[in-house]
Structure 1
Amino acid sequence: MNTRDWPIRAKLTALVIGPVSALLALWIFATTLTFGPALNLLAARTLLYDLGRPGETVVAELQRERRLSVVELAGTTDLPALAEQRQRTDRAVADLRRRIDGEDLRDAANDLLDTRLDQLAGALDALPAGRGFIDRRQVDRAGALGLYSGMISSAFQAFSAMATLPDTQLNREALALTALGRSRELLGQTDALLAGALTAGRYADGEYAQLVQTINNQRFLAETAVADLPDTGRAGYQRLTEGEAFIRLRALQDTLVRAPELPARLDVRTWETSQATVQRELRDFELSQADGLAERSVPMAVGILTRLAAAGVLGLAAIVVCVLVALRVGRSLARRLTGVRTAALEMAEERLPDVITRLRRGEEVDVAREAPELDHGGDEIGQVARAFNEVRRTAVQAAVDEVTLRRGLNEVFLNIARRSQGLVHRQLALLDRMERHAEDPDELAGLFQVDHLATRLRRHAEDLVILAGAAPGRGWRNPVATVDVIRGAISEVESYDRVDVGTVQPAGVLGRAVGDVIHLLAELLENATAFSPPGTRVDVTGQAVPNGYAIEITDHGLGMSPQALEDANRRLSRSPDFDPADSARLGLFVVARLAARHGVRVNLRPATPGGVTAVVLVPADLVTDEPALGSARDGAAADDQRMAKVTRLSTLPRPRTARPARERHESGTPVLPFAAGRGSTVEAPPDGDGLPRRVRRRGPARPRPAAAETPAPRPPEEVRRTMSALQAGTARGRRDGTRAMTAPTVPLAQVTPIAPEQPAESSPPEPSAVPDPLTATERDA
């Protein structure tokens, strides 16, 4: 049985129950052993009055009936006295049967006495049949003598079974009285034999030998029984034997023993008188001795019961004291151990996490108040409690030091990130001016590549800001179309050329969340392109749902295991604390932080047939209608100018693959990175990949060939680029005209020129009009 994991109360209870149970069992056993003999002593009186006296009466009546039956069989006529004697015998037997069947006698009797009582009742059942044989003279004198003697012998066997007293002396006296009764029975058998012989005038065959044997047995039993009587009993019996009747009876017995034939001069009357007197005196002596035995057993039983009560009470008191002490000590130990355990669990599960949470919120924590002293005495438990006090103080102090260290680490992250942000913003501004004044296509392509690298550096700097628990500085004052937000995120990804923008239903995102949503989508796009084969595509779609706007990013890589998906979704469902040890999941940490800031829900699920689909659900309170093209509003020009920089990524080289026709919004508008007329200075996309593309400027016009020469046919790509350039120029002209009527004129330097055909990198949107303090400081410097 493994008790290692048992509660302390169960272990203490087991320690107490074993000894107490053993002590209780011993007490019950000792009490039972002592109580049984006491009950036997008390039952001796019951046995005497319910079996001894009624049984002795039955024996006496059977002895008289036996003598009359033998005399009747020896003569020739019926004796009227026999009928009267049978009635007296029947009354005595009936009274004995009633007592045998009673509950008092049966409860006081043991198993042996129960058996002897059943045998006596069976022997008495044969009395009516024996009487019938005698009345019909179908049995001789020896048979009649044996019939009654057998019933009387059963009675004496029952008397012998009564002698089971716990006291040795009392038990010997009871057996002596029973033997004395048997000797009196043999005296009765001698009288019956002699009465039959005297009536018949002679002995029957074998009667003389039986008479002599019976007389000898009677004398032997009497002498043996008297030896076991107490002194007073022996003295009383000695006085009986010295009486005149005993002396005459003994002399007559000696005469019968010496003469093999019936003596001619035998005084029959003297025999009958002496024998009756001796029978009566012996019977009275036996009854008086039995009464004295019963009276002496009662005080002895009371003494035993008194000692038993004293021992039982003391034993029970000892058991109760042991139980109370065990319970008190056990409860004290259990309470103290439970207190230590409760304090440990409270510190581990409640107080220490609460202290860490408060410390992370910037609150001051008193170590002494958060780790109070535990006083559990001076024994081993108290020593453990004092040791635990030190452990608690050390744990709380360690938590304070750790949170202080984390806070300092976050400050370092934030300081470095702010400085990096300022430098990257200044670098992007410088690159923007250089791009506007660059004329060489190769130089412009290089500047665009540097611009794209700087945009990615800005995202990584913002990651540090987010890790430090602060908010990035980028922001927009006005709503931005979801398709522009998606393309802004694509511009911050290294493998942007592998991202395909599919069907994007028209909608807008509030300006306060545009920067964070772009960053969030960029992190997911980065993971999708990084964890999928280089030859696969990443699809991005968007659609309005009842509770917001859902953007799905699907890659076609190997996917993730169910356990990994569950773990990633658990991380994304809440804003976790930054763990420097888990540096492999910084992207998920940043996504979770950004999503928790605006209530955006991000969920990863398996894609079909392979890969992973990231579902970004922008809540309805951040979603608005798609902004109108060329709408005049405060700050629209500045926002459009920042969003226009995102389109520069289209100047980078992209693989030429067969693409489907250009996808459109539900409203029918072509899916462009940014709508024409909203500050975009690039041409419409020449193909259906959803991204605009700069067109390299052509050199000086070549002389037109002679009329005779047949002009060479233009390639379809060149015709498409020409038509796209015409469409973009028309849209730009309309926009500039509208802006000229509704807003101040934008300097020419701010208009992004159309780059030559050689592609270059671009940068994502610039920070908002309210930059971070550190950024402003860097720019002032």
Structure 2
Amino acid sequence: MNTRDWPIRAKLTALVIGPVTGLLALWIFATTLTFGPALDLLSARTLLYDLGRPGEAVVAELQRERRLSVVQLAGDRALPELTEQRVRTDDAIVELRRKVDGGDLRDVADAQLDNRLDQLVSALDALPAGRAFIDDRKVDRAGAVGLYSGMIGSAFQAFGAMAALPDAQLNREATALTALGRSRELLGQADALLAGAVTAGRYAEGEHEQLVRTVENQRFLAEIAVADLPPGERTAYQRMTEGAGFLKLRALQDSLIRSSALPARFDMRAWDTGHAEVWQSLRDFELRGADALAERSVPMATRILVQLAAAGVLGLIAIVVCVLVALRVGRSLAQRLTGVRAAATEVAERRLPDVVARLRRGEEVDLAREAPELDHGGDEIGQVARAFNEVRRTAVRAAVDEVTLRRGFNEVILNLARRSQGLVHRQLALLDRLERRTEDPDELAGLFQVDHLATRLRRHAEDLVILAGAAPGRGWRRPVAAVDVMRGAISEVEAYDRVDVGEVAPAGVLGRAVGDVIHLLAELIENATTFSPPGTRVDVSGRSVPGGYTIEITDRGLGMSAPALAEANRKLAEPPEFDPAGSARLGLFVVARLAARHGVRVELRPSRPAGIVAAVFVPSELITDEPPVGADASAGPERRRLAKVTRLTTVPRPGRPARPGRDRSENTVVPLQSARASTVEPPADGDGLPRRIRRRGATARPRAAVADTPAHRTPEEARRAMSALQAGTARGRRDGSRAAGTDPTTPTTEPRDTGTPSTTAGPAVQPAPPAPDQRTATERDA
């Protein structure tokens, strides 16, 4: 049994309970061991008067009835005396049954005596059937003797179980009296055999041998019983056996033993007189001895009970004193240890962390007041408290050093991050100017690729700023459409071509939160693309919910286990302190910091059938109406870059045909195609509108080619084609005039998707594919 982790109170309790329990068990055992014999001595009187006396009366009546039954079987007529004797026998049996069935005798009887009482009752139940056999002369004299002797033997077996007294001397005396009773029973058997033989005039076959054995056994039992009697009773027995009746009966027994045949002149009258005198003397001696035995057992039991009470009281007092001392000492130790533990726990869990947190915030802390020293005496417990004081001081010094180191580390990270941010911003501004001035498709594709890398570098630099505890510093003055925020986040992801923008409900994000929301979404989308198979897609959708706006990012990866998911959600809900050892989960820490800054809630949950859904809940304080397209064409460089991001290269999602008036949220990113030049060729879908495509050759110039018009075009098809052409022309003019108002060098090779086609029914214009390796607008930084 491992007790190392038990509470100190449990250990002290176990230490006390062991000896006290052992002492209590010994006390109970000794008390029971002494109390049981005392009760047995007290019950001897009950056994004598409830079983001894009624049982002895039944035995005497059965002996008389046995003699008369044998005489009747030996003669030719029924004896009236036998009928009267049977009545007396039945009365004695009724009295015995009443005592046996009573509760007093059964309460003091043990298991052995209970069993023998049941045997005696069962033997007596056979008496009526035996009498019927005797009356019908279906048994001989030997059978009748065996019938009654069996019942009398059951009675003596019960007497033997009753004689088991706890005191050795009393037990020997009770055994001797029982043996005398058996000797008297053998004398009665001899009398019954002789009476039957005398009445019949001769011995039946085997009766003489049985008579001889009975007489010898009777003499042997008498000698054995007398040897165990106390000296006074033994002397009284010897004087009794020297009387004339005993001597005369012994002489008659000797004459019967010497002659194998019944003597012709045997004095049966003298036998009856001697037998009656001896039998009654023996019975009286037994009853006097039993009464004396019962009387001596009561004082002995009382003396034992007094001794037991004294020993029990003293033992109980000793146990109570031991328990009280143990409880007092144990409670004192437990209270002091509990006080040390409570004080140490308060310092370790509340005061010391609070001191460390205030030190990290740069506050001045009075250590002596905030973490006072523990004083719990001069014994081992007080030494433990003083040792904890040393540990506390060492911990505070280590916390101060750690805070100083962390502060310097954060300043170094922040300094490097700010420098990297400045360089990346300058690089992005330079790339922006180069993109506006460049018209060559190959050079423009390369610039777009460098632009995408620089955008990712800026995000990583902002990660360092966030880890250092500062704000990234990127923001907008006016609201930005939610779909543009999502596309801006996608532009900062490496595998942007695997991301699909699904259903997006119209909404706008306040400018002060746009940069952080883009960064937060970019980290989640990056995780989705990283931890999902390369051939799967990542879906981004947005919907309005009560109290705000929810953006969901769904991947088709292996997902996360339930404990890992719960731990990640806990960190997202309560941003932990930055731990450099957890560099593998920097994105999770950055997301938690950004979400906590604006009150945004981020939750990860399993997706069906596989993968993870990252739900971003933007509160209503950061949500506004979706701004109109082109509402801020001259809002500065960052706004122009976001406008460039929203000029997506989009097509309708597979399996979902384009419809007039379809919201732009149903567009998806198209993987890039490699090409060197462009030309105009007929489309493959048969809508009749021209498409600009790439063609090989560095010097190739674009040329227009109009698709062959079907020979038989229906009016509905013509109307749709013209309507789409009109909408595309209007959109191109609007974009051209907007670009001319900001920067004349801005390239117009990419059509801007306003998501609002003409009211005339018809399919939307499908823009041309981008240049080689050109990132779609969703990958480019806001």
Q: Which moved more, 1:539-548 or 1:142-151?
A: 539-548
- Specify the code of the residue in structure 2 equivalent to 1:58: V
Report the 3-state secondary structure (helix = DSSP H, G, I; strand = E; otherwise coil) of the residue aligned with 2:166.
Answer: coil
Is contact 1:448-1:649 (8 Å) kept?
no
The TM-score normalised by the length of structure 2 is 0.64
Structure 2 residues not aligned, in runs of 5+: 653-657, 665-679, 681-700, 706-729, 750-770, 772-782
- CA drift at 1:567: 8.2
Map 1:588-737; keep pairs closer than 5 Å.
592-600=592-600, 619-624=619-624, 639-640=635-636, 643=639, 715=703
2:407 counterpart residue number: 407
Q: Closer, same or farther in 2 for the Cα pair 1:474/1:325, shift >3 Å?
A: same
Map 1:290-689; keep pairs closer than 5 Å.
290-313=290-313, 350-374=350-374, 383-411=383-411, 465-471=465-471, 510-513=510-513, 562=560, 575-582=575-582, 592-600=592-600, 619-624=619-624, 639-640=635-636, 643=639
Greater radius of gyration (CA): 1
Is contact 2:352-2:371 (8 Å) kept?
no
2:671 counterpart residue number: none
Q: Which moved more, 1:255-264 or 1:345-354?
A: 255-264
Q: Are 2:58 and 1:51 aligned?
A: no
Deviations 1:269-310 (A, max 9, x none): 6x6555444433332222111111111122223333444444
Q: Closer, same or farther in 2 for the Cα pair 1:532/1:757, shift >3 Å?
A: farther
- CA drift at 1:58: 3.0
2:778 counterpart residue number: none
1:61 counterpart residue number: 61
Q: Are 2:145 and 1:180 aligned?
A: no
Q: Closer, same or farther in 2 for the Cα pair 1:296/1:643, shift >3 Å?
A: closer
Is contact 1:506-1:666 (8 Å) kept?
no
Is contact 2:549-2:619 (8 Å) kept?
yes
Report the 3-state secondary structure (helix = DSSP H, G, I; strand = E; otherwise coil) of the residue aligned with 1:166.
Answer: coil
1:170 counterpart residue number: 170
Is contact 1:174-1:290 (8 Å) kept?
yes
Q: Closer, same or farther in 2 for the Cα pair 1:373/1:275, shift >3 Å?
A: same
The TM-score normalised by the length of structure 1 is 0.64
Deviations 1:207-247 (A, max 9, x none): 77766665555544444433322121123223324445445
1:226 counterpart residue number: 226
1:39 counterpart residue number: 39
Structure 1 residues not aligned, in runs of 5+: 670-685, 687-712, 718-722, 736-750, 760-781
- Specify the code of the residue in structure 2 equivalent to 1:177: L
Report the 3-state secondary structure (helix = DSSP H, G, I; strand = E; otherwise coil) of the residue aligned with 1:469.
Answer: coil
Map 1:6-155; keep pairs closer than 5 Å.
29-68=29-68, 80-125=80-125, 127-128=127-128, 131=131, 148=148, 151-155=151-155
- Specify the code of the residue in structure 1 equivalent to 2:233: G
Looking at structure 1, the residues matched to 533 and 412 of structure 2 have their Cα atoms a distance apart, in angstroms, of: 37
Is contact 2:739-2:746 (8 Å) kept?
no
- CA drift at 1:644: 5.5
- Specify the code of the residue in structure 1 equivalent to 2:53: R
- CA drift at 1:156: 3.8
Is contact 1:336-1:376 (8 Å) kept?
yes
Looking at structure 2, the residues matched to 485 and 385 of structure 1 have their Cα atoms a distance apart, in angstroms, of: 58
Report the 3-state secondary structure (helix = DSSP H, G, I; strand = E; otherwise coil) of the residue aligned with 1:229.
Answer: coil
Is contact 1:256-1:263 (8 Å) kept?
no
Aligned residues: 692
- Specify the code of the residue in structure 1 equivalent to 2:301: A
- Specify the code of the residue in structure 1 equivalent to 2:50: D
- Specify the code of the residue in structure 2 equivalent to 1:297: S
2:762 counterpart residue number: none
- Specify the code of the residue in structure 2 equivalent to 1:469: G
Map 1:192-271; keep pairs closer than 5 Å.
217-246=217-246, 249=249, 262=263, 268=269
Deviations 1:652-672 (A, max 9, x none): xx9xx9999xx9997999xxx
Looking at structure 1, the residues matched to 73 and 470 of structure 2 have their Cα atoms a distance apart, in angstroms, of: 135
Looking at structure 1, the residues matched to 128 and 516 of structure 2 have their Cα atoms a distance apart, in angstroms, of: 121
Looking at structure 1, the residues matched to 641 and 134 of structure 2 have their Cα atoms a distance apart, in angstroms, of: 146
Looking at structure 2, the residues matched to 138 and 500 of structure 1 have their Cα atoms a distance apart, in angstroms, of: 116
Looking at structure 1, the residues matched to 207 and 639 of structure 2 have their Cα atoms a distance apart, in angstroms, of: 150
- CA drift at 1:730: 5.9
1:771 counterpart residue number: none
Looking at structure 2, the residues matched to 139 and 314 of structure 1 have their Cα atoms a distance apart, in angstroms, of: 67
Looking at structure 2, the residues matched to 534 and 219 of structure 1 have their Cα atoms a distance apart, in angstroms, of: 115
Report the 3-state secondary structure (helix = DSSP H, G, I; strand = E; otherwise coil) of the residue aligned with 2:229.
Answer: coil
Is contact 1:417-1:462 (8 Å) kept?
yes
Report the 3-state secondary structure (helix = DSSP H, G, I; strand = E; otherwise coil) of the residue aligned with 1:164.
Answer: coil
Deviations 1:648-693 (A, max 9, x none): 999xxx9xx9999xx9997999xxxxxxxxxxxxxxxx9xxxxxxx
Looking at structure 2, the residues matched to 411 and 177 of structure 1 have their Cα atoms a distance apart, in angstroms, of: 110
Q: Closer, same or farther in 2 for the Cα pair 1:263/1:376, shift >3 Å?
A: farther
- Specify the code of the residue in structure 2 equivalent to 1:236: A
Looking at structure 1, the residues matched to 146 and 606 of structure 2 have their Cα atoms a distance apart, in angstroms, of: 110
Q: Closer, same or farther in 2 for the Cα pair 1:378/1:71, shift >3 Å?
A: same
Q: Which moved more, 1:166-175 or 1:581-590?
A: 581-590
Is contact 1:368-1:393 (8 Å) kept?
no
Q: Closer, same or farther in 2 for the Cα pair 1:649/1:532, shift >3 Å?
A: farther
Q: Closer, same or farther in 2 for the Cα pair 1:620/1:206, shift >3 Å?
A: closer
Deviations 1:78-123 (A, max 9, x none): 6544443343333223323433444433444445544554554455
- CA drift at 1:51: 2.7
- CA drift at 1:405: 3.5
Q: Which moved more, 1:122-131 or 1:230-239?
A: 122-131
1:159 counterpart residue number: 159
Looking at structure 2, the residues matched to 540 and 206 of structure 1 have their Cα atoms a distance apart, in angstroms, of: 119
Report the 3-state secondary structure (helix = DSSP H, G, I; strand = E; otherwise coil) of the residue aligned with 2:287.
Answer: helix
Deviations 1:2-39 (A, max 9, x none): 66666666666666666666666555555554444333
Q: Closer, same or farther in 2 for the Cα pair 1:568/1:152, shift >3 Å?
A: closer
Q: Closer, same or farther in 2 for the Cα pair 1:403/1:248, shift >3 Å?
A: same
Q: Which moved more, 1:118-127 or 1:529-538?
A: 529-538
Looking at structure 2, the residues matched to 608 and 219 of structure 1 have their Cα atoms a distance apart, in angstroms, of: 104
Looking at structure 1, the residues matched to 401 and 552 of structure 2 have their Cα atoms a distance apart, in angstroms, of: 43
Is contact 1:503-1:665 (8 Å) kept?
no
Q: Which moved more, 1:244-253 or 1:234-243?
A: 244-253
Q: Closer, same or farther in 2 for the Cα pair 1:122/1:397, shift >3 Å?
A: same
Looking at structure 2, the residues matched to 228 and 161 of structure 1 have their Cα atoms a distance apart, in angstroms, of: 18
Identity %: 72
Is contact 2:484-2:645 (8 Å) kept?
no
Looking at structure 2, the residues matched to 91 and 606 of structure 1 have their Cα atoms a distance apart, in angstroms, of: 93
Q: Closer, same or farther in 2 for the Cα pair 1:519/1:182, shift >3 Å?
A: closer
- CA drift at 1:68: 4.7
